[in-house]
Structure 1
Amino acid sequence: MSGTDIETGQTGERMMAGPTYPIHLKFADVRCKVHLKRIASSTEKDILQGITGSARPGELLAVMGPSGSGKTTLLSLLGGRTTTDIIQGSITYNDEPYSKSLKGRIGFVTQDDVLFAHLTVRETLTYAALLRLPRTMSRQQKEERAMNVITELGLQRCQDTIVGGSFIRGVSGGERKRVCIGNEILVNPSLLFLDEPTSGLDSTTALRIVQVLTEIAESGKTVVTAIHQPSSRLFHRFNKLILLGKGSLLYFGRASKAMSYFSSTGFSPLIAMNPAEFLVDLANGNTNDVTVPTGLEDKLQSKESERHTTSGKLSTEDVHEYLVEAYETRFAEKKKKKKSLTPLPINGDLKATVFSLKRDWGANWWQQYSILFWRGLKERRHDYLSWMRITQVLAIAVILGLLWWQSNTTTLRDLEDQAGLLFFISVFWGFFPVFTAIFTFPQEREMLNKERAVDMYRLSAYFLARTTSDLPLDLFLPVIFLLIVYFMTGLRLSVAHFFLSMLVVLLTVIAAQGLGLAIGASIMNIKKATTLASVTVMSFMLAGGFFVKRVPAFISWLRFLSFNYHAYRLLLKVQYDHLPRSLDVPELGDGLKEVAAMIAMAFGYRFLAYISLRRTTMPK
Structure 2
Amino acid sequence: MMAGPTYPIHLKFTDVGYKVLLKRIASSTEKDILQGITGSARPGELLAVMGPSGSGKTTLLSLLGGRTTANIVQGSITYNDEPYSKSLKGRIGFVTQDDVLFAHLTVRETLTYAALLRLPRTMSRQQKEERAVNVITELGLQGCQDTIVGGSIIRGVSGGERKRVCIGNEILVNPSLLFLDEPTSGLDSTTALRIVQVLTEIAESGKTVVTTIHQPSSRLFHRFDKLILLGKGSLFYFGRASKAMSYFSSTGLSPLIAMNPAEFLVDLANGNTNDVTVPTGLEDKLQSKESGRHTTRGKLSAEDVHEYLVAAYETKFTEKKKKKILTPLPINRDLKATVCSLKRDWGANWWQQYSILFWRGLKERRHDYLSWMRITQVLAIAVILGLLWWQSNTTTLRDLEDQAGLLFFISVFWSFFPVFTAIFTFPQEREMLNKERAVDMYKLSAYFLARTTSDLPLDLFLPVIFILIVYFMAGLRLSVAHFFLSMLVVLLTVIAAQGLGLAIGASIMNIKKATTLASVTVMTFMLAGGFFVKRVPAFISWLRFLSFNYHSYRLLLKVQYDHLPPSLDVPELGDGLKEVAVMIAMAFGYRFLAYISLRRTTMPK
What is residue 114 of structure 1 aligned with on the other side? Answer: 100
**Residues 368 and 461 in structure 1, CA contact (< 8 A), matched pair in contact too:** yes
Conserved 8 A contact 1:54-1:341: no
Cα distance in 2 for residues equivalent to 1:385 and 1:118:
13
1:599 Cα deviation from its structure 2 partner: 0.1
> Partners of 1:427 and 1:266 in 2: how far apart?
75
Structure 2 CA distance for partners of 1:182 and 1:287, relative to 1, 3 Å: same
- Report the 3-state secondary structure (helix = DSSP H, G, I; strand = E; otherwise coil) of the residue aligned with 1:554: coil
1:307 & 1:43 partners in 2: Cα distance? 37
Per-residue CA deviation, residues 58-110 of structure 1 (Å, 9 max, x unaligned), is 00000000001000000000000014445421000000000000000000000
CA distance in 2, matches of 1:256, 1:342: 24
* Equivalent position to 1:188, from 168, 174, 181: 174
Q: Secondary structure at the match of 2:492?
A: helix
Q: Is the 8 A contact 1:64 1:71 kept in 2?
A: yes
CA contact (8 A) 2:529 2:553 kept: no
| CA displacement 1:518-549 (0-9 Å, x = unmatched) | 00000100001001111111122223343333
1:117–1:379 CA contact under 8 A, matched in 2:
yes
Range with bigger deviation, 461-470 or 548-557:
548-557
SS at structure 1 position matched to 2:292: helix
Contact 1:70 1:246 survives alignment (8 Å): yes
What is aligned with 2:452? 467
CA–CA distance in 2 between the matches of 1:356 and 1:553?
A: 64
CA positional deviation for 1:559: 1.3
Check if 1:614 corresponds to 2:599.
Answer: yes
Show structure 2 runs of 5+ residues with no match. none
| Residues in 2 aligned to 1:75 and 1:464: alpha-carbon distance in whole angstroms | 33
The answer on whether the counterparts of 2:274 and 2:298 sit within 8 Å (CA) in structure 1 is no
**Change in 2 beyond 3 A, CA 1:175/1:312:** closer
CA distance in 2, matches of 1:38, 1:389: 45
d(CA) in 1 for partners of 2:204, 2:161: 21
SS of 1:249 mapped into structure 2:
strand
Distance, in Å, in 2 between the alignment partners of 1:576 and 1:528 is: 40
- Contact 1:304 1:310 survives alignment (8 Å): no
Offset, 1:558:
1.7
Distance apart, 1:459 and its partner CA: 0.3
Deviations 1:110-132 (CA, angstroms, capped at 9, x unpaired): 00000000000000000000000
- Deviation of residue 556 (structure 1)? 1.8
What is the CA distance between 1:294 and its match in structure 2? 1.3
- Structure 1, residues 494-540: CA drift from partner, whole Å, max 9, x if none? 10000000000000000000000000000100001001111111122
Change (3 A) 1:543 1:85: farther
Question: Would you say 1:398 and 2:383 are equivalent positions?
Answer: yes
**Alpha-carbon offset, residue 312 of structure 1:** 5.7
Q: CA deviation at 1:233?
A: 0.5
Identity value in percent? 95
Between the aligned partners of 1:479 and 1:319, the Cα distance in structure 2 is 70
Q: CA deviation at 1:602?
A: 0.2
- Between 136-145 and 323-332, report the one with greater CA deviation: 323-332
Whether the aligned pair in 2 keeps the contact of 1:28 and 1:52 (CA below 8 Å) is yes
TM-score for both structures, normalised by structure 1: 0.96
Q: Kindly tell me: are residues 208 and 339 of structure 1, through their superposed partners in 2, closer, same or farther at Cα, counting changes over 3 Å? A: closer
Residue deviations 1:197-250 (CA, integer Å, cap 9, x gap): 000001111111000100100100000000001110110010000000000000
Change (3 A) 1:619 1:144: same
**Which of 82-91 and 492-501 deviates more?**
82-91
Contact 2:496–2:583 (8 Å) recurs in 1: yes
Stretch moving more, 407-416 or 294-303: 294-303
Secondary structure of the residue aligned to 2:593 is helix
- Range 142-151 or range 582-591, more displaced: 582-591
CA gap of 1:83–1:600, structure 2 versus 1, over 3 A, is farther
Change in Cα spacing, 1:477 to 1:147, as seen in structure 2 (3 Å) is same
Asked if structure 1 preserves the Cα contact closer than 8 Å seen for 2:14 and 2:322, the reply is: no
Task: Compute the displacement of 1:550 (Å).
Answer: 3.2
C-alpha distance in 1, partners of 2:574/2:544?
A: 17
Indicate the larger mover: 85-94 or 131-140. 85-94
Over the residues paired in the alignment, what is the CA RMSD in angstroms? 1.3
Cα deviation for residue 273 of structure 1 reads: 0.6
Instruction: State the Cα deviation string for residues 270-295 of structure 1 (Å, max 9, x = none).
Output: 11110000000100011111111111
User: What is the CA distance between 1:452 and its match in structure 2?
Assistant: 0.3
Deviation sequence 1:416-453 (CA, Å, 0-9, x none): 00000000000000011000000000000000000000
Larger mean CA deviation between 159-168 and 580-589 belongs to 580-589
Alpha-carbon spacing, 1:337–1:97, altered in 2? closer, same or farther (3 Å): closer
CA contact (8 A) 1:369 1:464 kept: yes
Moved over 4 A (4+): 306-312
Residue 343 of structure 1, CA deviation: 4.2
Per mean C-alpha deviation after superposition, the further-off stretch among 306-315 and 497-506 is: 306-315
**Contact between 2:44 and 2:208, CA under 8 Å: does it hold in 1?**
yes
Q: 1:308 deviation in Å?
A: 6.9
Return the alpha-carbon distance in structure 2 between the equivalents of residues 306 and 417 of structure 1: 92
Of 287-296 and 236-245, the range deviating more from structure 2? 287-296
1:429 aligned residue: 414
Residue 583 of structure 1 aligns to a residue in which SS? Answer: coil
- Contact persistence 1:118–1:382 (CA under 8 A): yes
Taking structure 2 as the reference length, the TM-score comes to 0.98
Aligned to 1:200: 186
Length, aligned pairs only = 605
Q: Secondary structure at the match of 1:194?
A: strand
In 2: Cα distance, 1:238 partner to 1:389 partner: 50
State the alpha-carbon separation in 2 of the partners of residues 389 and 262 from structure 1.
61
SS at match of 2:324: coil
Contact kept? 2:50, 2:227, Cα under 8 Å: yes
Cα distance in 2 between the residues matched to 1:87 and 1:176: 37
